[in-house]
Structure 1
Amino acid sequence: MKSIVCEQPDQFKLMEGEKPIPKEGEALIRVRRIGICGTDIHAFGGNQPYFTYPRILGHELSGHIESIPENPLGFKAGDQVSIIPYMECGKCIACRNGKTNCCTDMKVLGVHIDGGMREWVAVPFDHLVKTEGLTLDQAAMIEPLSIGAHAVRRAAIQKGEFALVIGAGPIGLGVMAIAKEQGAKVIAMDMNNERLEFARKWANADYTLNVLDHPHEKLAEWTNGDMPAVVFDATGNAKSMMDAFNYPAHGGRLVYVGLVKSDISFSDSDFHKRELTLMGSRNATREDFDYVVNFVRTGKVDLDSYITHRSSFSEMIDQFEGWLSPDAKVIKAIVEV
């Protein structure tokens, strides 16, 4: 079995290894598509929290079930699936309360344990999601879109509310599309005008705003002085995350979708004055995956234009560093296995 291993920062290696043998309760999946996400990029660059080397990356996955035991979920060999890559303990307070996405002993494929950047992977069958009717490309994008769906669900958006999404990367774009689907008036903010134009077209953002173009004044103007009811920061940038406190309305919500390996500070008096609610949004649950599968099936989201770059498995190592350059204009890259 071929695997691509991140041996240390800035170094991939193609390796041969044994095909995994599923344990009790696991299915063997023939991996067909691997999405490249910010976690993979940060791991390759040496700045991903909670990470050790060497590691097989990859957690945005789709493929086919090669073998599976009898199971109550109705999965069978040959089924096309996406994978929920968050391996929870099932016993801690978060798991007992249905918040498996923030388990106290979380093991994420491609981060804490080896992921799917290989030909086969064995995973618990209760972490599979049926994706019949979707393409393999679409099925691999269920996981990143589910991150956005979870953040929007955390925010409890009400129809007609203004939602500011900071960061027009792949996760932020998903937040925009799903917030728009749920009836929000979406404002996209980024420092890249090409990304903002893509957000306007792809996610149907109502407004676009360059962060360098007097954002507070524009937000006040568009919201009749109220400011956005909910603000999502999907940048993973400490300065942006701290600046985001400037934008929610009185009584509003600020949701951190992006993760940064840094401390965050803010003005407590201003935070209290506006009685803001600050939330973290981590990973996603099966509820979010099921929502996104149905959302994609409606045809309301164009994943063909969302996926801008692709390579074969054998070519990925040579192409990966090129995808990191801003000149490459990557939104989402995908690997065909």
Structure 2
Amino acid sequence: MQTMRAVLLTEPGRFELAEIPVPRPGAGEAVVAVDACGVCGSDVHLVDGSTVAAEYPVVLGHEAAGTVAALGPDTTGIEVGTRVAVLPYVGCGRCGRCWTRQPQACAERKVLGVDMPGAQADRLVVPTGCLVPLPDTVPAEIGAILTDAVATPFHAIRRSHVVPGETAVVFGLGGLGMHAVQILAGVLGCEVIAVDPRPQARERAAALGAKLTLDAGRQVARTVVAETRGGADVAFEFVGHPEIVGTALRCLRPQGTCVVVGISPDRLALGMRQETLVSRELRLVGSFGCTAAELAELVDLVATGRLDLTGSVSDVYAPGQFAAALAETRDKRAGSVRVVVSYR
């Protein structure tokens, strides 16, 4: 029996680099030889137990890029040897969201590394609909983080309907928020206000095009309204703190939109009268993941040089160093954007 390396979460708080059987593809599925897999805050939540996997043990990891190594029976549409980025969401295939190629919004969706075996391993099996071709000009490490760290804010920006020239406030300058700043300012041409308590994170956001950076605090909404002469057009919450959603809403002009991406099990604390929400015609929108079409757009942006992510991968670790990669992600080390584990 062939075996492979995999980072296995055996129960909350316990993981190990184990040897497990190489998975076999079914009809419509492909085996991807993983070249790189990013480490995300979601992995931290799984290991810490604040997010619960569908079952244990589970192979961690959902940000993957690699090469198609084998195809299941009667599987067409992609060839062995194709370099790919892997969409980490698998839908039921039967509902309207799946028919419109939005598996991230399927009520029965499964997420790699949470609800099904993930990508922190030498091999990964996924439906071919999850595979987006990756040109040779895009390194595997960049292709891996595209699938979530970049695609998730890209999807949120799309859901906001922001247009060039409008003002956007970004709360939280971790991997997701920093890439949101870069896309909003550098690709769309928006004026960006970036908010984070870490000075080095604010400096990086300014270097990526943020017009104004602010320390987190009670005066943020008042400052944004004053600086924009009435409020921002959109605000993005990437922190996962309910109180920040209320602050983000108070930053908006009439008919402004707040998009919430950060995840928290706690109840929202908007701190706002319902009549204010109604009279100002504010919009509160949730955003999760991305679509394969959006991931393909991002691949093209990188391949054509319109989106430069060369500074996004802070460190590359070996599989045996997963604990260190997880610690860097958990601790939000100054200057760190995203870390990747290499399986080549």
TM-score of the pair, normalised by structure 2: 0.91
Match of 2:197 in 1: 191
Query: Deviations for 1:214-242, whole angstroms, at most 9, x for unmatched residues?
Result: 3223212321x221011111111122223
Deviation, structure 1 residue 127: 1.0
Matched, 1:282 2:288: yes
Matched AA of 1:44: V
Query: Deviations for 1:297-316, whole angstroms, at most 9, x for unmatched residues?
Result: 13243323211122111222
Matched AA of 2:85: S
Q: After TM superposition, list the pairs within 5 Å mapping 1:175-324 onto structure 2.
A: 175-180=180-185, 181-201=187-207, 203-212=208-217, 214-223=219-228, 225-266=229-270, 267=272, 268-324=274-330
Q: 1:29 is paired with a residue of what secondary structure?
A: strand
Using the alignment, how far apart are the partners of 1:242 and 1:111 within structure 2? Answer: 29
Matched, 1:16 2:3: no
Using the alignment, how far apart are the partners of 2:128 and 2:193 within structure 1? Answer: 39
Is contact 1:9–1:43 with CA below 8 Å preserved after alignment? yes
Is contact 1:235–1:241 with CA below 8 Å preserved after alignment? no
Is contact 1:4–1:13 with CA below 8 Å preserved after alignment? yes
Identify if the C-alpha distance between structure 1 residues 318 and 206 changes in structure 2 by more than 3 Å, giving closer, same or farther. Answer: closer
Q: After TM superposition, list the pairs within 5 Å mapping 1:144-159 onto structure 2.
A: 144=148, 145-159=150-164
Matched, 1:87 2:93: no
Match of 1:47 in 2: 50
Query: Deviations for 1:108-167, whole angstroms, at most 9, x for unmatched residues?
Result: 101111201111011111210111121111111211211111111111112211011111
Gaps of at least 5 residues in structure 1 are: none
Length, aligned pairs only: 334
Is contact 2:221–2:248 with CA below 8 Å preserved after alignment? no
Identify if the C-alpha distance between structure 1 residues 19 and 169 changes in structure 2 by more than 3 Å, giving closer, same or farther. Answer: same
Matched AA of 2:320: S
CA RMSD, Structure 1 to Structure 2 (Å): 1.9
Q: 2:132 is paired with a residue of what secondary structure?
A: strand
Is contact 1:36–1:334 with CA below 8 Å preserved after alignment? yes
1:129 to 87, 111, 132: 132
Deviation, structure 1 residue 182: 1.5
Matched AA of 1:156: H
Match of 1:160 in 2: 165
Matched, 1:142 2:149: no
Deviation, structure 1 residue 326: 4.2
Using the alignment, how far apart are the partners of 1:245 and 1:147 within structure 2? Answer: 20
Query: Deviations for 1:156-206, whole angstroms, at most 9, x for unmatched residues?
Result: 1122110111110111112222222122111111111111111111x3112
Using the alignment, how far apart are the partners of 2:197 and 2:121 within structure 1? Answer: 35
Greater mean alpha carbon deviation, residues 128-137 or residues 264-273: 264-273
Matched AA of 1:282: F
Using the alignment, how far apart are the partners of 2:326 and 2:174 within structure 1? Answer: 17
Using the alignment, how far apart are the partners of 1:280 and 1:199 within structure 2? Answer: 23
Match of 1:64 in 2: 67
Q: 2:200 is paired with a residue of what secondary structure?
A: helix
Using the alignment, how far apart are the partners of 2:341 and 2:25 within structure 1? Answer: 24
> Identity rate of aligned residues, in percent?
27
Matched AA of 2:232: P
Using the alignment, how far apart are the partners of 2:12 and 2:197 within structure 1? Answer: 27
Deviation, structure 1 residue 3: 1.1
Matched AA of 2:47: F
TM-score of the pair, normalised by structure 1: 0.93
Using the alignment, how far apart are the partners of 2:332 and 2:289 within structure 1? Answer: 26
Gaps of at least 5 residues in structure 2 are: none
Using the alignment, how far apart are the partners of 2:233 and 2:334 within structure 1? Answer: 35
Using the alignment, how far apart are the partners of 2:31 and 2:53 within structure 1? Answer: 27
Using the alignment, how far apart are the partners of 2:56 and 2:178 within structure 1? Answer: 30
Matched AA of 1:295: L
Identify if the C-alpha distance between structure 1 residues 328 and 229 changes in structure 2 by more than 3 Å, giving closer, same or farther. Answer: closer
Q: After TM superposition, list the pairs within 5 Å mapping 1:31-42 onto structure 2.
A: 31-42=34-45
Q: 1:251 is paired with a residue of what secondary structure?
A: strand
Match of 1:116 in 2: 119
1:174 to 176, 179, 182: 179
Is contact 1:48–1:261 with CA below 8 Å preserved after alignment? no
